[in-house]
C-alpha cells in the first residue's frame, strides 16, 4: 500500500529468551517506512530477551488476527528448542500463511515452523540443515543453503543473517526494490560506501 496510514501493523513476536539482535534492522526500517510495529507476547505480561531487555507486549497472541496484520515476525529464542512453550506462535504462523499474510522467521523460529509442518512444502533455510532435520520434519529436500530464503509469503533465515533477513522482508513487502534494495543490503551487510549515495538519492536511509 502506498500510504502509511492505510498500512496494517507489523506484528513482532516477543517471548522470554528472544534473540533481540535478530530483528532490529527489519523493524527499524519498516517503522521508518511507515509501518506501526506492535509486539505480541504469550500474554500481556512482560518478557525478558536473551540480552536482558524487558518488553511489555502490546498484545497477547490470542488477540492477533491475520486480517489485521501486514506481517508476523518470529525471532529466535532458546525456548524454541527447550519445549513446546512457543508452539502457539508456530500455529499462529500457520493461520497467517493460510490467510495469505506474510510470516518471517529467523533462527530457532525456523525449527518451530518445521515442527508445525510449515517447511515441508516450502523452500527455506535456517541455522544449518541438520538443525532442522533434528525436528523430524519432512522438508529436508526443500532446505536451501543460503543466507535467507523467500518462498511465497514465507521468509526464513539463520541466526547470523539479520541483514539478509531484513532484505527479504523489505523485498516481500515492497518497502525497497531493485537497486535500492540491493544498495541497502550492500551498505548494511558489506559496509559498501558507494551504496550510501543510492539510498540517499532514494530517501531510503
> What distances in angstroms separate CA 160 from CA 71, 88, 177, one per listed residue?
21, 25, 23
3-state secondary structure 91-156: HHHHHHHHCCCCEEEECHHHHHHHHCCCCCCCCECCCCHHHHHCCCCCCHHHECCCCEEEECCEEE
> What distances in angstroms separate CA 43 from CA 58, 70, 77, 122, 171, one per listed residue?
9, 21, 17, 30, 31
pLDDT, one tens digit per residue, over 156-195 is 999 999 999 999 999 999 999 999 999 999 999 999 999 9
Question: Annotated catalytic residue: which of 93, 104, 107, 114?
Answer: 107
Contact 124, 110 (CB under 8 A): yes
Instruction: Say how many residues make up the chain.
Output: 205
pLDDT, one tens digit per residue, over 82-111 is 999 999 999 999 999 999 999 999 999 999
Q: Walk me through the domains of the chain, giving residue ranges and CATH numbers.
A: 4-174 (3.40.50.880), 177-205 (no CATH)
pTM for the structure as a whole: 0.95
Contact 130, 100 (CB under 8 A): no
pLDDT computed for residue 169 by the predictor: 98
Least confident interval from 74-78, 149-153, 170-174, 196-200: 196-200
pLDDT, one tens digit per residue, over 30-75 is 999 999 999 999 999 999 999 999 999 999 999 999 999 999 999 9
Q: CA–CA separation, 104 vs 177, rounded Å?
A: 18
Contact 109, 116 (CB under 8 A): no
Q: CA–CA separation, 61 vs 193, rounded Å?
A: 41
**CA of residue 79 relative to chain centroid, distance:** 17
Residue 205 pLDDT grade (very low, low, confident, very high; cuts 50, 70, 90)? confident
Q: Is 107 a catalytic residue?
A: yes
The cell numbers describing 111, all together, are 525449527
Amino acid at each position: 500500500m502506498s500510504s502509511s496510514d492505510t498500512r496494517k501493523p507489523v506484528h513482532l513476536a516477543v517471548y522470554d529468551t528472544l534473540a533481540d539482535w535478530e530483528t532490529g534492522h527489519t523493524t527499524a526500517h519498516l517503522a521508518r517506512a511507515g509501518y506501526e510495529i506492535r509486539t505480541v507476547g504469550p500474554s500481556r505480561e512482560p518478557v525478558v530477551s536473551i540480552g536482558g531487555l524487558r518488553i511489555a507486549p502490546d498484545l497477547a497472541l490470542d488477540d492477533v488476527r491475520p486480517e489485521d496484520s501486514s506481517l508476523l515476525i518470529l525471532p529466535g529464542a532458546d525456548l524454541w528448542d527447550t519445549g513446546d512453550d512457543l508452539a502457539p506462535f508456530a500455529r499462529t504462523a500457520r493461520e497467517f500463511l493460510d490467510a495469505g499474510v506474510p510470516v518471517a522467521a529467523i533462527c530457532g523460529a525456523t525449527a518451530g515452523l518445521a515442527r508445525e509442518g510449515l517447511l515441508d512444502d516450502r523452500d527455506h533455510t535456517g541455522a544449518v540443515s541438520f538443525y532442522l532435520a533434528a525436528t523430524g520434519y519432512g522438508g529436508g529436500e526443500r532446505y536451501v543453503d543460503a543466507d535467507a530464503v523467500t518462498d511465497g509469503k514465507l521468509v526464513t533465515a539463520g541466526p547470523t543473517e539479520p541483514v539478509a533477513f531484513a532484505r527479504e522482508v523489505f523485498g516481500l513487502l515492497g518497502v525497497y526494490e531493485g537497486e535500492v534494495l540491493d544498495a541497502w543490503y550492500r551498505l548494511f551487510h558489506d559496509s559498501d560506501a558507494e551504496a550510501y549515495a543510492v539510498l540517499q538519492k532514494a530517501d531510503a536511509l
